[in-house]
Amino acid sequence: MKIFITGGAGFIGSHLTEALLNAGHEVVIADNFSTSTPANLDRVKGNPGLQVFELDIVEAPERVAELVKESDAVIHLAAAVGVEMVVKNPVHTITTNVHGTENVLAPAAKYGKRTIIASTSEVYGKSTNEKFSETDDLLIGSPFNSRWCYASSKLLDEFSLMAFHREAGLPGTVVRFFNTVGPRQTGRYGMVIPRFVAQALKNEPLTVYGDGEQSRCFCHVADVIRALMLLLDNKESIGNIYNIGSQELVSIRELALEIIKRTGSKSEIKAIPYEVAYAKGFEDMRRRYPDTSRIKALVNWQPEHTLADIIDDVAASLK
Ligand code: UDP
């Protein structure tokens, strides 16, 4: 198959590109290289099955439509990334996530292309549920707080895909990623694991925001890619939404201690108030734990990598 990946030079996109090429597919990438880098594609550079176009999906809708038309399937990953970047650039976040996705979904629906779009665990917002399930009601914070523009814009993307599916028969699927991590992820836009590992390797203090009791499940990018490939091939996933995440819940303080231990670092932990790290009135999610029974039931997917594997892989890639 010829697969069109928006954001294909990004952290997740570049791993997906490699996996699809290795499986014998052709890959066409559109990427504006705003938060990604050509170096992410070094391992597939010159591969005859790969075409890379530097273009912005918001600014070049006609070109995006052509690329969709010429492909057999579309995986839409291009988006504004990272909490820090979202808080600082809310207009850019909304424009990219809303108009960019519209520019992908409209032609995908018109030409009836198999489509998967990336959404996020952020859509669960301030839910206090023990586990987050795809059919849950969602509790997104107020527009007075910029953080929630990311969740809101991604949620609109989900509604758009479902609308195109129902009204125009778009064979589409939504995936909600829960803290995907691994080699090539940059800490520049806020992500905690590449930051902590880089700090630990330099024996600098690990910057734990808030009280450090907030918890997350970190999923290795290789597991996420495997989930995407299984869903791409699965017709029953059409018109559906899937959580993709690990079941290993860890507090950010425990994570910092584990990273210090595994890297043999002399670093200490430094607590930083949220308003210093982000902005006044910043609201974090206390706990985020995915119910992944849907994807497990459909394609028998569950993560194979542990948090220890993730830390070791990220550390090896940063050394
Ligand atoms: N975090 C932290 N120190 C950092 C970066 C992030 O304590 O240097 C915290 C952040 O406040 C959040 C968690 O780590 O509670 C995960 O942050 P990340 O940005 O990786 O993902 P999020 O779950 O917020 O989307």
pLDDT of residue 110: 98
215-217 and 249-251 as β-strands: parallel, antiparallel, unpaired?
antiparallel
CB within 8 Å of 183: residues ≥ 6 apart: 221, 313, 314, 316, 317
∠270-273-277 over CA atoms, to 5°? 90
Is residue 215 in contact with ligand 1, taking CB distance under 6 Å? no
pLDDT of residue 279: 78
Ligand 1 center to 9 CA (angstroms): 23
d(CA 11, CA 34): 12
Ligand 1 center to 192 CA (angstroms): 5
Is residue 207 in contact with ligand 1, taking CB distance under 6 Å? yes
pLDDT of residue 85: 83
- The encoded tokens of residue 212 equal 């450090």
- Find out whether 232 and 116 touch, Cβ atoms under 8 Å: yes
pLDDT of residue 214: 97
d(CA 88, CA 110): 35
- Closest residue (by CA) to atom 13 of ligand 1? 192
> Per-residue pLDDT tens for 117-168?
999 999 999 999 999 999 999 999 999 988 899 999 999 999 999 999 999 9
- Find out whether 50 and 2 touch, Cβ atoms under 8 Å: no
> Per-residue pLDDT tens for 222-273?
999 999 999 999 999 999 999 999 999 999 999 999 999 999 999 999 999 9
Atom of ligand 1 at shortest range from CA of 120: 25
- Find out whether 209 and 277 touch, Cβ atoms under 8 Å: yes
d(CA 165, CA 152): 20
Percent of the chain residues past pLDDT 90, beyond the cut? 91
Q: How does residue 278 score in pLDDT terms, banded at 50, 70 and 90?
A: confident
∠111-114-115 over CA atoms, to 5°? 105
Catalytic annotation on 150?
yes
Q: How does residue 190 score in pLDDT terms, banded at 50, 70 and 90?
A: confident
Select which of 124, 150, 209, 242 is catalytic: 150
d(CA 6, CA 69): 14
| pLDDT higher than threshold 90 for residue 52 | yes
- The closest alpha carbon to 95, from 161, 34, 165, 149, belongs to 149
- Find out whether 297 and 222 touch, Cβ atoms under 8 Å: no
